[in-house]
Chain A
Amino acid sequence: MQEYRTDNKRLDDKKILVAEDTEMNQHLTKHILESSGAAVIIANNGQEALQLVNENFFDCILMDVQMPEMDGIQATQYIRQLADPVKASVPIIALTANVLTEDITKYKAAGMNDCLAKPFDESGLLFIILKHQVNNVGQKKQAQQKNEQPAYADEPLYDLSMIQSMSGNDAGFIKKMIRLFIDTVPQNVKELVTATHANNWEQVSKMAHKLKSTVDSMGIKSIRDDIRLVESNAKHNQNIQEIPAIVSKIESIIYHCIEQLKKEL
């Protein structure tokens, strides 16, 4: 097993999310990873993982398959749908005791890159993480060769033409609107996400309604229909099982949009 040997500190500068509900496993995994130089963040379930991914960039996610609230399969499916291509393509490794072929097929179908059988040891864990880091770097390089920057970075998710024309291109006013957006919208998004996690559909519909006009006035077209769909489905209790994924997309687009808008100030 010579090839499984890994030098100490080989995960330096890597930020790793561990989604795992068992406290003992959390400690164990964290200990191994930190001894190798990685920064480790723990999520107690799939929902927490999803939220952390929305707010941060990780080099790798270790995902327990069975977790309360939202399992690893669902969380992976949501992450793969995120608008930010870097976040959506983060390597995700399933941690599970179920490693029959049919299980592995299921994990791959959900978008997981690989699978590590529990219980695992230090060398097995480091090996599988590093395996996907190499691939990941390769992909990033390829993307850079094709295109100097990732495509999304250049394309603004917003369109200020409505505000520009209304204000007669009043730069001060436009900045004021951008500041208001940046200052007020994260709270609204948070409330929308919280209500979604709580299955409080009445509140979800209300928050979507509130966000709708803001999203429209900033010309964030990619979620224009999504936000209407969430409002209407939540209101009429239709297809509510689809709502969390759409809300997650809305959340990720809005946060990304805020990052872009900050550069306008």
Chain B
Amino acid sequence: MENQQPRIFIVEDNLLYQQLIAKELETISDDIHFYTRGENCIENLDKNPSIIILDYNLEGEMNGLDTLQEIRKFDLSIYVILFSNQKDLNTSENKRQYGSFNFVEKKDQSFRLLKQMVNAGSQM
């Protein structure tokens, strides 16, 4: 079955981080699409990703929360993980305002945690 692998979007402006994330997730999926701008992620939502990993600081005009808001207008069921070093983003206020998301703090050794989170998401 070809469609077993979840389609994952990685929205991250740091190209090294894109590769590190994809490397960590390679046992889960190799159907991974990369974007450095929130705008490009939104334009490609018709590819129906099941998981989106979002950085907060992005190229382009939209930040991660703006992008989340647009994602949620399109589809409420996409599993979104905000992957950022700004812990203060993880508030219920932000979830009310921009839409639901999971949060993984970007720091040393946090890729394992991100992988667990993606794993959880891909089994939903």
Contacts and interface: CB of A to CB of B under 8 A. Distances in A.
A163 interface: yes
- Chain A at the B interface: SS class: helix
Contacts of B24: 166
- Chain B at the A interface: SS class: helix
Contacts of A217: 16-17, 20
Interface string B1-17: 00000000000011111
B106 A213 contact: yes
Contact of A181 (B13, B16, B106): B16
A108 interface: no
B38 to A, nearest CB: 16
Interface in B81-123: 85, 106, 108, 111
A210 B13 contact: yes
Q: Which of A167, A176, A213, A216 is most buried by chain B, counting CB atoms within 10 A of its CB?
A: A213
B48 interface: no
A163 B85 CA distance: 19
Given A162-B108, A166-B111, A213 B23 contact: no
Given A209-B57, A213-B85, A163 B14 contact: no
Contacts of B23: 166-167, 170, 173
B69 interface: no
A-B CB proximity, top 10 nearest: A180-B15, A180-B16, A214-B16, A184-B15, A167-B23, A213-B14, A217-B16, A213-B17, A173-B23, A177-B16
